[in-house]
Amino acid sequence: MYKADENRYEKMTYNRCGKSGLLLPAVSLGLWHNFGDTGNYQNMKDMCHTAFDNGITHFDLANNYGPAPGSAETNFGKILKEDFSAYRDEMIISTKAGYDMWPGPYGNWGSRKYLISSLDQSLKRLGLEYVDIFYHHRMDPETPLEETMGALEQIVRSGKALYVGLSNYDGATLEKASEILEDRHVPFVINQNRYNIFDRIIEKNGLKMTAKRLDKGIICFSPLAQGMLTDRYLNGIPEDSRIRTDGRFLKENQVSDKLDKVRKLNDIAVKRGQTLAEMALSWILHDGIVTSVLIGASRPSQILDNIKALENTAFSQDELNEIDSLSI
Ligand SMILES: NC(=O)c1ccc[n+]([C@@H]2O[C@H](COP(=O)([O-])OP(=O)(O)OC[C@H]3O[C@@H](n4cnc5c(N)ncnc54)[C@H](OP(=O)(O)O)[C@@H]3O)[C@@H](O)[C@H]2O)c1
């Protein structure tokens, strides 16, 4: 029977999500990979225990995480029931809808029909009555923003989510969506976007500064560029790495194209007394704009390494310049 570490809240920093009442751990755990039907169930449990024992209160899912789509929610639901039922009120659990989930015209994008039925399915798989944060997973160029935001409003009013978030939006669309949600008094608190040393899109598309100006939180996914910004690929492609075990999203040529830069970044990390993973995460947190870095992991030891990033989030201007020069 799992019993959480009594000192779990002494190990983590909690950041306020914009101007809301919600505090999120500076490091959160995402279940995109390694929690589907191809993962090892005991390893999933060990990762959740390690995370929670170290103050990671936030677990991020989506309807389509697997493989098969939905299986990460089913597996996490089982872990919640077996180990975390006493801790539900200490946890922030999020899920999303927006990508392809079921066949036909109602299993994708941003219609009211899709969002509301998808969350109902997610809640069944998770074995929960509500999630803490429900996200629209990506911008929908066809569905009126009013309809998508109206669906988020209804989801909150029906008690199926406490807060809502937007994922993969740009600055201009975020601003329009935020106006609609403010008008309707919907607790929209957070943006979830990709951000790492190599991927600066949110600096360019206005998301980062718009979220700051509007006092909304930002949680950054793939902060380690799916493992590229770690020591994982410095000496070849390990058989147990994401490239080999999954291969759908991170490809060998992406790693080989960046390897020289990764090595130079690793040298900077070593000089700072950090692993490259620690430095990549602390870089994201260094200017205080990002609320939480949303890591993935394939084993508990990676989670422990990543939390150490919080021990040094200060960078000299020379270090920042050097990192910038290696980012493109
Ligand atoms: N909203 C969206 O559209 C969206 C999209 C993608 C992801 N997300 C969310 O973001 C979460 C994180 O994404 P991600 O998994 O791409 O994040 P990531 O943190 O960039 O990559 C995680 C991978 O990096 C490697 N790793 C992690 N810590 C390490 C360490 N200390 N040393 C060496 N290697 C390490 C592991 O790879 P190995 O498996 O090779 O060991 C791990 O699976 C997802 O789970 C999901 O919740 C959201």
The whole-number average pLDDT for the span 127-156 is 98
**Residue 50 Cβ < 6 Å to ligand 1:** no
Q: What are residue 52's phi and psi, to 5 degrees?
A: -65, -40
Question: Distance between CA 138 and CA 141 in Å, rounded?
Answer: 10
- Closest ligand 1 atom, residue 196 Cα: 20
Smallest Cα–Cα separation from 47: which of 62, 33, 26, 37? 33
Q: What angle do CA 63, 307, 174 make, to 5 degrees?
A: 45
Question: Distance between CA 168 and CA 161 in Å, rounded?
Answer: 19
**Residue 108 Cβ < 6 Å to ligand 1:** no
Class of domain 8-325: alpha beta
pLDDT of 172 strictly over 80 = yes
**Residue 167 Cβ < 6 Å to ligand 1:** yes
Smallest Cα–Cα separation from 156: which of 203, 105, 215, 116? 116
State in Å: Cα 180 to ligand 1 middle.
Answer: 32
What's the pLDDT score for residue 158?
Answer: 98
Q: What is the pTM of this model?
A: 0.98
Q: What DSSP character marks residue 287?
A: T
| Alpha carbon nearest to ligand 1 atom 25, residue | 227
Helix axes 252-272, 317-325, angle to 10 degrees: 170
Percent of the chain's residues with pLDDT above 70: 100
Question: Do the beta carbons of residue 161 and residue 187 sit within 8 Å?
Answer: no
Residues 6+ apart with CB under 8 A from 68: 36, 37
**Residue 221 Cβ < 6 Å to ligand 1:** yes
The whole-number average pLDDT for the span 152-170 is 98
State in Å: Cα 181 to ligand 1 middle.
Answer: 30
| Alpha carbon nearest to ligand 1 atom 19, residue | 295
Map tokens 């066809």 to a residue.
142
- More confident of the two residues 219 and 11: 219
What's the pLDDT score for residue 215?
Answer: 98
**Residue 232 Cβ < 6 Å to ligand 1:** yes
In this structure, is the dihedral angle defined by the CA atoms of residues 198, 321, 168 and 291, taken in order, positive or negative? positive
pLDDT of 328 strictly over 80 = no
Pairing of strands 23-25, 14-16: antiparallel
Q: For residue 328, give the H/E element and its range.
A: none
Joined tokens for residue 36? 């589907």
**Residue 94 Cβ < 6 Å to ligand 1:** no
The one-letter code for the residue type at 263 is R
Question: Distance between CA 232 and CA 245 in Å, rounded?
Answer: 13
pLDDT single digits (tens) 218-272:
999 999 999 999 999 999 999 999 999 888 899 999 999 999 999 999 999 999 9
What's the pLDDT score for residue 300?
Answer: 98
Longest dimension (CA), the chain: 53
What's the pLDDT score for residue 11?
Answer: 86
Question: Do the beta carbons of residue 178 and residue 202 sit within 8 Å?
Answer: no
Joined tokens for residue 243? 């490239």
Smallest Cα–Cα separation from 226: which of 205, 202, 197, 206? 197
What's the pLDDT score for residue 247?
Answer: 80
Question: Do the beta carbons of residue 250 and residue 242 sit within 8 Å?
Answer: yes
pLDDT of 295 strictly over 90 = yes
Burial of residue 297 (number of CB atoms within 10 Å: 0-12, 13-18, 19+): buried
Smallest Cα–Cα separation from 295: which of 181, 182, 75, 305? 305
State in Å: Cα 199 to ligand 1 middle.
Answer: 14
Question: Distance between CA 284 and CA 292 in Å, rounded?
Answer: 9
Map tokens 């970044």 to a residue.
265
The whole-number average pLDDT for the span 139-151 is 98
State in Å: Cα 116 to ligand 1 middle.
Answer: 28
pLDDT single digits (tens) 13-22:
999 999 999 9
pLDDT single digits (tens) 26-84:
999 999 999 999 999 999 999 999 999 999 999 999 999 999 999 999 999 999 999 99
**Residue 294 Cβ < 6 Å to ligand 1:** yes
pLDDT single digits (tens) 179-218:
999 999 999 999 999 999 999 999 999 999 999 999 999 9
What's the pLDDT score for residue 246?
Answer: 86
| Alpha carbon nearest to ligand 1 atom 26, residue | 227
Q: For residue 72, give the H/E element and its range.
A: helix 71-79
